[in-house]
Amino acid sequence: MKKCKSCQKEIDPKAKKCPYCQTDQRNWFAKHPILTVLLVLFIIGMISSAGSKKGGSTSTNSTPDATTSESSSSAAQAEVKPTVAPTLIDAKTLVGEFDKNKLAAQEKYTGKVVQTTAYIKNISGGDFGDYYLSLEPSNEQYYFGTTIQCFFKDKKELTTLANGQSVTVIGTMQDMSIGIVEIKDCRLVK
């Protein structure tokens, strides 16, 4: 036997409600299953976002201080223009390959520079100071499926854009997590 949380009378240990005072005996997570699922998804998303941010934003600078401004300028130019030609891929094809076989798509694209065109679903900044576009392969109003998230270093490129607009982006492919294909170091192709 166990005691009721409210009236302290002895009740059956499997009872969900006290037969005397009708107090719910379940824990918070059992009482709120929808909030529990949302909380778990939020925590997984935060861990995933923190992990991808940690892995993709390291930089080193081994030049002396006297040449720092010159090397920074050169590094900025190098980041804007990839040294290899990007893989041109349709957004529907890219998303489709990850949906069909994530492992094969990871092997084919992770770390590669890609260029794709898609429709803007959301323009935002993250909790860690990163700016991104959420892109969908279709401009259908009620599209629900795998999306592409492009991370930018500078928000200036994003301030003139609007949701629903078609854009072409280029960046380095990362991985797919919880239905989101991530691309880092993005820039808009004009």
Q: What is the pLDDT of residues 139-180, one digit of tens each?
A: 676 666 778 888 888 778 888 888 888 889 888 888 787 778
Q: Which SS3 state, helix, strand or coil, does residue 190 take? A: coil
Q: What pLDDT is stored for residue 22 in this prediction? A: 87
Contacts 24+ apart (CB under 8 A), 144-147: 145/95, 145/99, 145/179, 146/95, 146/98, 146/99, 146/176, 146/179, 146/180, 146/181, 147/95, 147/121, 147/179, 147/180, 147/181
pTM: 0.51
Share of the chain above pLDDT 70, in %: 78
Task: For residue 111, give every residue at least 6 positions away whose Cβ sits within 8 Å of its Cβ, in sequence order, or none.
Answer: 172, 173
Q: Lowest-pLDDT range, 3-12, 62-71, 84-93, 162-171?
A: 62-71
- If one compares 53 and 119, the residue with the highest pLDDT of the two is 119
Q: What pLDDT is stored for residue 187 in this prediction? A: 85
- If one compares 67 and 127, the residue with the highest pLDDT of the two is 127
**Crossing angle for the helix pair 91-100 and 102-109, nearest 10 degrees?**
130
| Of the options 1.10.10.10, 3.30.360.10, 2.40.50.140, 2.160.10.10, the CATH number for the domain spanning 83-188 | 2.40.50.140
For residue 16, the 8-state DSSP code is: S
All CATH 2.40.50.140 domain ranges in the chain, comma separated: 83-188
Tokens 């090397």 -> residue: 71
- Mean pLDDT across the stretch 74-102? 71
- If one compares 93 and 74, the residue with the highest pLDDT of the two is 93
